[in-house]
Structure 1
């Protein structure tokens, strides 16, 4: 076996180890929950004419509360909307277990406020997920 072949094999064996070593550097302090993605809607929700405000988080006492205003357009029939609030801690990590999904039936032209309270005192950020 030539010197070139041995070096090529050695390089091929060491390359994955060097790549892994490079991944051990600086770790972010937190995973940011993008404020532009604090409301996530499936495409059918958007096309049905549902509009939702970004959830507002307030804290009175130990546990935070999230509220979001949701309105339904001037469609011709009621719409059953399913939703779930997802809570995150200060580092942006999921707080488990996730809340159960809930449903509400919206009448054409109706505006409501969806609300939830976290059962975990670490909760600081929230995302609202809407689907049909």
Structure 2
């Protein structure tokens, strides 16, 4: 009985040893609804850079169709702990020309900006 109690206490303590913050999957930087892919839009990976003291996230959208495609998008910024940075960006729209690429970007002046995630939808 003492052994079971000791094991239960160890399991509880092991659960408390994780870093504070929200678990973010850094591999999932682009979230898109299935109609986006069906429409012929292929997104790249967001790249981060510094633009006059602000964080800049850029993403290339490729249209492999013979007609222009209109896409809506939102950039979400996170700090090192995985917490959302406010204010949230407003949704924007771009038309990607036929058989062409278009870059979308977002600027964030928050010094805590560490990572970004992009949501694409029709």
Q: Could you say whether these structures have the same fold, taking a TM-score greater than 0.5 normalized by the shorter chain as the test?
A: yes
Q: Unaligned regions of 5+ residues in structure 2, if any?
A: 1-7
Q: TM-score, normalised by structure 2?
A: 0.80
Runs of 4 or more consecutive aligned structure 1 residues displaced over 3 Å after TM superposition: 29-33
State the structure with more CA Rg: 1
Q: Is the 8 A contact 2:41 2:64 kept in 1?
A: yes
1:126 paired with 2:121, answer no
Alpha carbons 1:33, 1:125 under 8 Å: kept: no
Of residues 108-117 and 58-67 in structure 1, the stretch that sits farther from structure 2 once superposed is 58-67
Paired position in structure 1 for 2:28: 37
* Aligned equivalents of 2:61, 2:29: Cα separation in 1: 13
Q: Equivalent residues in 2 for 1:1-132 (5 A)?
A: 22=12, 25-75=16-66, 77-132=67-122
CA deviations over 1:10-29 (Å, ceiling 9, x no partner): xxxxxxxx9xxx49823424
Count, aligned residues: 112
Task: Please tell me the root mean square deviation across aligned C-alpha atoms, in Å.
Answer: 2.2
Instruction: Give the number of the structure whose residues are more often strand, by fraction.
Output: 2
Q: Distance in 2 between matches of 1:123 and 1:31?
A: 15
Q: CA deviation at 1:73?
A: 1.2
Q: Which has the higher helix share?
A: 1
Gaps of 5+ in 1: 1-17
Q: Deviations over 1:47-93 (max 9, x none)?
A: 11111111001124432000111111124x32110001100001111
